[in-house]
Amino acid sequence: MSVDTPRPVSAATPPAEVTYDHLIIPPHWRRPEDSVAGAPNPLFPSADGQPHPASGPHPMTGPLLVGTTARAFAKLDDIIRLSTEDKAVIDARRDEAERALRAIFPPRCALPLVGVATIGSAGRDTMIRPLDEVDIFAVFSAANSAWKRFRWDSRDLLLCVRNAIGGDRVQTIGTRGQALRVVYDTPPDVHLVPAFDHPRAGYVMPDRIGGWLPTRPERHASWTEDLGPRVISAVRLLKAWNRVCGSHLRSFHIEALAGTVLAGRGLNTRQALATVFRHMDEAGLSMADPADVGGDLSTYLRPDDLAALGESVRMARAYAEKAVAAEGDGRHEEAVALWAAIFGPEFPTFG
């Protein structure tokens, strides 16, 4: 069906104009009432070309690197975290996407582009290597009748953007929401997430069935940054453990779980991991979206995932608690061996 063709209206659909107000927007995460179009947006550069104050990883400090067990973890974090070259590739992918989209969707067109931002774990410094995909958020204005054009079926927005980009390297993908995968000859591919700028709530993106999902990537980024370097390091390490155990947990689920459990506790990395494993073993994997948007983040887990994770979590908890005790007693070689049993051959050897 053409993106310009109105879709049939069922008897259950009100004949009046469908607006953003038909979305269910919790009052506690709405934008301030005085928010207006053109107000500073933390996701995009300001009008003078200078970026908004920002976010970036906090530097690692000396106390985190004391002791041989701590050094082993510092080495592992260096191995799994994105390198300077990886981050340069991410920036290049974002810049390329913005140049292309601004050329295709200029300000006076029927679907004007507002801005482009790196989101997901690449945008929050919680991604681990290898770098195989980058999430790029492409926000369009609802002006120029754009919302009227796409209100009945969000899949038409995906189709419009896909056709405008063109080529056989663009695929439609999605789990909770929908995105476009732009395939490159070498990694990383780009997951392009089109969305509309919402006047109060933030943004709305396509879902899997033609509706719209509210989303707040800038809140996720701010919340993650506020956790501090030790918790962010623990998040990356938990993602490495998850990969060793079969990648049953989704990336953002790990971030939300670890951040919620560890926020404000001042633990070192090893204590933090042991605390998260204990929480997962005792309290389970249910975790609310920290931006109060997505509900329980664990609903995707199937019974076989839960069974496999249960065994992995119990083993990780037992070994982590023994490793923390061994480190506390100065038995670093034993502690490193116990952590290696959790993280596998990627974990640095003692010494």
Domain of 110: which CATH number? 3.30.460.90
- Given a cut of 60, is residue 154 above it in pLDDT? yes
Question: Does the pLDDT of residue 77 top 90, yes or no?
Answer: yes
Indicate the helix (H) or strand (E) that contains 341: helix 332-343
Which residue range(s) make up the domain with 279? 221-346
Tell me, what's the pLDDT at 2? 35
Mean pLDDT calculated for residue range 160-180? 76
Residues 226 and 194 in one domain: no
Q: Same domain, yes or no, for 169 and 121?
A: yes
**117 or 165, greater pLDDT:** 117
Distance separating alpha carbons of residues 215 and 205, to the nearest angstrom: 7
Q: Which residue has the higher pLDDT, 209 or 119?
A: 119
Residues 195 and 250 in one domain: no
Please report whether residue 209 resides in a domain.
yes
pLDDT recorded at residue 17: 32
Do 210 and 89 lie in one domain? The reply is: yes
Of 215, 231, 264, the position where a domain reaches its end is: 215
pLDDT of 37 higher than 70: no
Q: Both 95 and 211 in a single domain?
A: yes
What is the pLDDT at residue 209? 87
Residue 12 has pLDDT above 70, yes or no: no
Over residues 2-8, the mean pLDDT reads 38
Count of CB atoms within 10 A of residue 319's CB? 20
* Distance, CA of 142 to CA of 130 (rounded, Å): 37
For residues 288 and 201, state if they share a domain.
no
Q: Are residues 185 and 210 in the same domain?
A: yes
Taking the C-alpha atoms of residue 8 and residue 11, their distance in angstroms, rounded to an integer, is 10
Q: Do residues 281 and 260 both lie within one domain?
A: yes
Burial 55-80 (b: 16+ CB within 10 A, else e): bebeeeeeebeebebbbbbbebbeeb
Cβ neighbours around 153 below 10 Å, total: 17
Confidence of residue 4 (pLDDT cuts 50, 70, 90): very low
Please report whether residue 66 resides in a domain: no
Of 215, 232, 267, the position where a domain reaches its end is 215
pLDDT computed for residue 177 by the predictor? 55
Distance CA 59, CA 228 (A): 10
Tally of domains in the chain: 2
pLDDT in tens, 44-68: 655 455 544 444 444 433 333 335 8
pLDDT at position 68: 86
| Lowest-pLDDT range of 54-58, 173-177, 269-273, 314-318 | 54-58
Indicate whether 202 and 292 sit together in one domain.
no
Instruction: State phi, psi for 125 to the nearest 5 degrees.
Output: 60, 30
**Measured between alpha carbons, how far is 51 from 169 in angstroms, rounded to an integer?**
31
- Average pLDDT for the chain: 83
pTM over the 0.95 mark: no
- Per-residue confidence band for 309, with pLDDT thresholds at 50, 70 and 90: very high
Q: Which of 215, 248, 282 is the last residue of a domain?
A: 215
Show contacts of 244-249: CB within 8 Å, 24+ apart: 244/342, 244/343, 244/344, 244/346, 245/308, 245/309, 245/312, 246/308, 246/312, 248/301, 248/305, 248/308, 248/309, 249/285, 249/301, 249/309
- Element containing residue 257 per DSSP (H, E): helix 251-262
- Give dist(CA 92, CA 206) in Å, integer: 26
pLDDT at 162 over 60: yes
**8 A C-beta contact, residue 215 and residue 203:** yes
Q: Is pLDDT above 90 for 90?
A: yes
Evaluate whether residue 89 is within a structural domain.
Answer: yes
Res. 41 pLDDT band, cuts 50 70 90? low
**Which amino acid is residue 158, in one-letter code?**
L
Q: Does residue 347 sit in helix, strand or coil?
A: coil
Examine the domain organization and report whether 209 and 226 are in the same domain: no
Supply the pLDDT for residue 232: 96
Asked if pLDDT for residue 236 goes beyond 60, the answer is: yes
Q: Can you tell me the mean pLDDT for 2-23?
A: 38
Q: Kindly tell me the number of DSSP H helices and DSSP E strands found in the chain.
A: 11, 7
66/344: higher pLDDT: 344
Strand 178-182 to 189-198 pairing: antiparallel
Residue located via tokens 């034993």: 334
